[in-house]
Chains A and B, each alone.
Chain A
């Protein structure tokens, strides 16, 4: 199975901060990586697919990048509604594993 390691697990930040979350894969993913946002009691919401393509309707302050087996999700200027848990997911091969999550909290 492909392992995904997210860092950090917890992140405390303020409104208008720039934050970056990293996801490292145990093997190459050929850009088959997606990022999701999940708020308490809600289903995950797709933010980024194919490592760097913004899902329709997602604000442009969200962006994704890829360098080898390291993927990053960047929020350029945090807004109050961005405080949530973020997950990466690989879709390169079965089983379609998720990272352990990054909980983004208000400082």
Chain B
């Protein structure tokens, strides 16, 4: 099982960023994919998830106006787009996998640093 994320991004306030999470070693459509972020020195914040099989999504209420999670089943890849970026969005963004039973996030990507700065 591997989750490989796209590279670091530097964005100006107000811009959007789209991150990818390319997976291998398992049947992508049998799992859910989550996005979690971690601001510098802070704890982890769950952002949302997508059922990779049927495409159903659920977002954190705090971010739901700005975050969109999609997937490409042919490429076994999940995406997370965050719009209207602000300095507080500077963080490492992780994708993670969970089974349908949702007992845990058992595999994680390596993380992508997004820096929002003018």
Which residues of chain A have a CB within 8 Å of any CB of chain B?
32, 34, 36, 43-46, 49-50, 53, 55, 87, 89, 91, 94-101
Query: Is A95 touching B104 in the complex (CB atoms < 8 A)?
Result: no
Query: Is B43 touching A49 in the complex (CB atoms < 8 A)?
Result: no
- Report the contact-size class of chain B (Cβ under 8 Å from the partner): 20 to 34
What are 20 sample pairs from A and B whose C-beta atoms fall under 8 A apart? A32-B102, A34-B104, A34-B105, A43-B108, A43-B109, A46-B104, A46-B105, A46-B107, A49-B106, A53-B103, A87-B43, A89-B104, A94-B60, A95-B46, A95-B60, A95-B61, A96-B34, A98-B45, A98-B46, A100-B43
Q: How far, in whole Å, are A101 and B58 apart by their CA atoms in the complex?
A: 25
Q: How far, in whole Å, are A73 and B102 apart by their CA atoms in the complex?
A: 20
Q: How far, in whole Å, are A46 and B108 apart by their CA atoms in the complex?
A: 9
Query: Is B108 touching A44 in the complex (CB atoms < 8 A)?
Result: yes
Query: Is A91 touching B104 in the complex (CB atoms < 8 A)?
Result: yes
- Of residues 44 to 92 in B, which have CB atoms within 8 Å of A's CB atoms? 44-46, 58, 60-62
User: Which residues of A are found within 8 Å of B104, using beta-carbon distances?
Assistant: 34, 46, 49-50, 55, 89, 91
Q: Which residue of A lies closest to B107 (CB)?
A: A46
| B110 contacts A by Cβ under 8 Å | yes
User: Which residues of B are found within 8 Å of A91, using beta-carbon distances?
Assistant: 98, 102-104
Q: How far, in whole Å, are A29 and B106 apart by their CA atoms in the complex?
A: 19
Q: Which secondary structure dominates where chain A touches chain B? A: loop
Q: How far, in whole Å, are A47 and B22 apart by their CA atoms in the complex?
A: 24
Query: Is A43 touching B103 in the complex (CB atoms < 8 A)?
Result: no
User: Which residues of B are found within 8 Å of A32, using beta-carbon distances?
Assistant: 102-103
Given A49-B103, A50-B103, A43:B43 Cβ within 8 A: no
Given A96-B46, A99-B43, A43:B111 Cβ within 8 A: yes
User: Which residues of B are found within 8 Å of A96, using beta-carbon distances?
Assistant: 34, 46
Given A43-B111, A44-B108, A97:B46 Cβ within 8 A: yes
Question: B65 CB to closest chain A CB, in angstroms?
Answer: 15
Q: How far, in whole Å, are A55 and B107 apart by their CA atoms in the complex?
A: 11
User: Which residues of B are found within 8 Å of A36, using beta-carbon distances?
Assistant: 105
Q: Which residue of A lies closest to B95 (CB)?
A: A43
